[in-house]
Amino acid sequence: MTHSLLPHHDGSDLYVSNSAPKIGEKVEFKVRIPKAYPITGVMIRIYHDGEPRTFDLKIKTSAKHENWWSAKVMVMNPSASYRFLLVGKNKYEWLNAAGLFSHEVSSANDFQIFAKPKYPQWINKSVFYQIFPDRFASSGKKRNVPSKFVPRAWNDLPKGRDKTTGIEYFGGDLNGVTEHLDHITGLGASGIYFTPFFPANSTHRYDASSFDHVDPLLGGNEALLELANKANKKGIRIMGDLTTNHCGAGHPWIQKALANPESKERSYFYWDKSIKHGYEGWWGLASLPKLNYASKGLRNAMYEGEASIVRKWLRPPFAMAGWRIDVGNMTGRFKDQDLNQMVMRGIRKAMDDVNPDAWLVAENADHFPSDLDGFGWHGTMNYNGFMRPLWGWLQENPQVEGGFFGLPTSLPRFSGSEMVAAMKNFNAGIPWRGLLASMLLLNSHDTARFRNVVGGNVDRHFAGMGLLLTYPGVPSIFAGDEIGLRGAWGEDARRTINWEDRSDWDHEFFDRVKRLVAIRRTSDALAYGGLRWVEINNDYVSFLRESKKETILVVVTRSPADIGIDLAPLGYEVEKNLYGPSARGSSIRFVTTSADVGIWKLK
């Protein structure tokens, strides 16, 4: 099924002259129309002050196989949605972010443009490495370990589902990360995303007992400063993890509020005498008091004040590159109170004030379009629009426990068409720049490892890595994935890395992944380019990433395949083989004996 011979537009620079204009500025919008697709006219329908206006496009350039239609239109508001109408003899079709439709459509899936500065541009060429601090590497320094924590030998497996869950202590620290920076640069990653490093009553640290300093068990502020300094010299940025939805029961805020009903901290929480512990906890847990952003004092402490938590860690000397916001979709929401937009935009404003180049990405698995409207989170962790469809397509004899990432069901099996349809569905509701600024992941500290999803099939794991490192967004590799670490569910996946003899490392896989990371980091098209699907089959998919400077063709297969791709109708031919078999001219033959990846630079 050929998709590249259909009319196409996306929010990339090939189709939009300025994705971050000022209000009142004219922007050129383009649509590419294959000559084999007969039309007589194209119109853009765009909102001006809430009213839809239409403007004619004209042919600007014509090539052998396609015409580029163009119009310059003023952007009148901070956000504007638009779509295109294609007309001809017996033809009336709408082109929006969800695709091409011969019936009337709502504005829900219109393309979107924002009169607001662009998101941080450095993220486009970044590959992040996610580290769960207790499990990555230990410096061996002696620490005063709280008696409530249960010490484990470094190469033990987490027990997980027993009373020790959350309090197993393996002894990883930031000094250990510093000692192993060469592994991260060797992979080619350029950023580290840490799950929380604040003090807590668990080794997961999502129950912070302070947001003011680094946990001494991890080496304290001194260890973070040393790491930041050495990472910076190696070109690695560091991003933190902030629980804006709740704190831990050991935090001074809740302790003061419990001790004194007249304290300012009392307003930081929701109080209910019918609850045994007297306050609302996240998911009812006393250990995770939920924060109430109706409190001006809380907003000031968290993000509005000059000395607030959000601002403090972005400033020197820590100068972190951004925040990942834990359960960003739940922050500020409680029963009939919905302050989520206010909090989201407040955090964004604080970050823009301190460092407009800092990245703000939220854990927001449902991909709420309203949360990615250009004024709050830059992006989301792309679970539903990338990871889940990919799991369903590449899964094989999955060794996974606990359901399909949050659902009480086994992993579904998707065709390539179903995977792509899901991706398109989630992409359609958000702006292109929101997709590029979202975090891509095969798995995380909250899920099974992808090696388990594919039942240990190394080639399918590599196919997943191929999509991770070529699809629009910011790739994030969970520490250990690059060496084939396993795990059947979240806690089981939080395993340590054997640095002693590395006997359980998949060294060949590591080398293959390094090649993909290098391609991702050096490709203009993979960083900035649009997305145009070429072939979508049950067992393989192919797509183009096209920027002003470069065009890349990617083929990913989950099974043995004999694939022939004729580039002539697209007006391209092979310039350079990047991964997979060599090819010349306008014809590519991709023969595989298992799941595999092919990447070519075109001209």
Annotated domain spans of the chain: 26-114, 129-253+306-410+440-525, 529-602
List, in order, residues 6 or more apart from 583 with CB less than 8 Å away. 574, 577, 589, 600
Q: Which two tokens stand for residue 69?
A: 């239609």
Residue pLDDT, tens place only, 53-79: 999 999 999 999 999 999 999 999 999
Tell me what pLDDT residue 405 has: 84
Q: How confident is the model at residue 119 (pLDDT cuts 50, 70, 90)?
A: confident
- Comparing 26-114 with 529-602, is the CATH topology the same? yes
Residue type, 542: S
Q: Are residues 23 and 75 in contact, defined by beta-carbon separation less than 8 angstroms?
A: yes
At the topology level of CATH, where does 129-253+306-410+440-525 sit? TIM Barrel (3.20.20)
Tell me what pLDDT residue 1 has: 44
Instruction: Judge if the upstream peptide bond of residue 398 is cis by omega within 30 degrees of 0.
Output: no
Query: pTM for the whole thing?
Result: 0.97
Q: Which two tokens stand for residue 8?
A: 């196409």
Tell me what pLDDT residue 249 has: 98
Tell me what pLDDT residue 3 has: 60
Tell me what pLDDT residue 402 has: 86
Sheet holding 540-546, edge to edge: 532-536, 540-546, 551-557, 596-602, 574-579
At the topology level of CATH, where does 26-114 sit? Immunoglobulin-like (2.60.40)
Closest C-alpha among 464, 476, 461 to residue 506: 461
Tell me what pLDDT residue 123 has: 97
Residue pLDDT, tens place only, 443-484: 999 999 999 999 999 999 999 999 999 999 999 999 999 999
2, pLDDT greater than 70: no
Tell me what pLDDT residue 371 has: 80
Distance CA 91, CA 104 (A): 13
Residue 590: Cβ-neighbour burial (10 angstroms; 0-12, 13-18, 19+): buried
Residue pLDDT, tens place only, 155-167: 999 998 899 999 9
Q: Which residues of 7-42 are buried (b: 16+ CB within 10 A; e: fewer)?
A: bbbbbbbbbbeebbbeeeeebebbbbbbeebebeeb
The mean pLDDT of the chain is: 96
Tell me what pLDDT residue 367 has: 64
Architecture of domain 529-602: Sandwich (2.60)
Residue pLDDT, tens place only, 25-39: 999 999 999 999 999
DSSP reduced 3-state for 244: coil
Q: Which two tokens stand for residue 382?
A: 């792309």
